[in-house]
Amino acid sequence: MKIIKNILSAITLTMLFVSCSSNNCPLDNYVSCNYYFYDYEGNAVTLADTLTVTTLLPGYKTQYTYSKLGYPTVTFERQDSTYIEDGYSEKIETVRKDTILINKLTNATHFQVPMSYFNNEDTLVFSYASIILSDTIKISHSSFPHVELPECGTYRFHNLKNATCTDRYIDRIKISNAKVNYEGNENIQIFFNATAE
């Protein structure tokens, strides 16, 4: 009986120090601002056009363009002398540091793009395949760091303040959820100048 008591005591003491380890971080941890498409009347639509979203970045960069008659023109951010040896002509120019966030999106109901960590305003340029003109969206926001658990690392969350747009293809935009995090909620509604068929 005494032996059983000692064994039970040892097991109980051991269990006090046993612990399990697991990762409790969110699986979908991509912080993005989610834009959803609607028609003029407010119906959710699938965009039939091809959409490219470019964001304006502060500052400029040097761009190298190589062209040759009968060959496609190529552009690099650094010089490549092999093209000159192959007979290409080189054009060096200073351009804005803009970058493409969404490239040729088709048949989509929504898209998601990141937001700047330290700027107060993001500018997105919408280019369409069907028309030459483009739309520009400006999103004012504040950003702050966020930690769920130390093991999950650091994130940058945002609070949307204001949204404006041009009116070529877009009729209006509306902030539906100002909190931008990794929960995947709809944040901005884009209403196009068309109705769903």
Partner 1 sequence: MKISKFSSMLRLNSQATIFAFLAFIATNAHGQTLKGVNAEGKTITIDSTLVETKNKEKPTKWIPTVSDVKPPLLLFQGFTLSVDLLGAGMRAVSDYGNLEAALRLNLKNTYFPIAEAGYANCDIIDDNTSVHYQTKAPYMRIGFDYNILKDKYQDNRLFTGLRYGISKFSYDMAGPTMTDPIWGGSSDFDLTGIDCTSHWLEVCFGCQVKIWGSFHMGWSIRFKRELSSTNNDYAKPYYIPGYGTTVNSSCWGGTYNLIFDLNWGKKPKRK
In the three-class reduction of DSSP (H, G, I as helix; E, B as strand; rest coil), residue 182 is classed as: coil
Least distance to partner 1, CB of residue 90, Å: 27
Among 54, 55, 127, 187, binds partner 1 (CB under 8 A): 55
Beta bridge partners of 47: 108
Residue 156 or 168 with smaller CB distance to partner 1? 156
* Cα dihedral value 124, 128, 131, 133, nearest 10: 10
* Cα dihedral value 178, 122, 170, 113, nearest 10: -70
187 binds partner 1 (CB under 8 A): no
60 binds partner 1 (CB under 8 A): no
Residue 5 or 78 with smaller CB distance to partner 1? 5
Structure tokens at 193: 């100048």
Residue 80 or 148 with smaller CB distance to partner 1? 148
Long-range contacts of 76-84 (CB under 8 A, 24+ apart): none
**Structural contact between residues 95 and 34, judged by C-beta atoms closer than 8 angstroms:** no
116 binds partner 1 (CB under 8 A): yes
Stretch that binds partner 1, among 37-45, 53-61, 70-78, 124-132 (CB under 8 A): 53-61
**Structural contact between residues 38 and 191, judged by C-beta atoms closer than 8 angstroms:** yes
Going across the sheet that includes 71-76, the strands are 71-76, 60-68, 89-96
| Number of neighbours of residue 172 by Cβ within 10 angstroms | 15
What does 131-154 look like in DSSP terms, one character per residue? -S-EEEEEEEEEEEEEES-GGG-E
125 binds partner 1 (CB under 8 A): no
Among 44, 84, 129, 147, binds partner 1 (CB under 8 A): 147
Stretch that binds partner 1, among 126-134, 153-161, 169-177, 186-194 (CB under 8 A): 153-161
70 binds partner 1 (CB under 8 A): no
Site track 5-44 with partner 1 (rule: CB under 8 A), x = hit? -------x---x-------x--------------------
Least distance to partner 1, CB of residue 117, Å: 4
Structure tokens at 71: 């060959």
Instruction: Give contact residues for partner 1 (rule: CB under 8 A).
Output: 12, 16, 24, 55, 57-59, 99, 101, 114, 116-119, 122, 144-154, 156-157
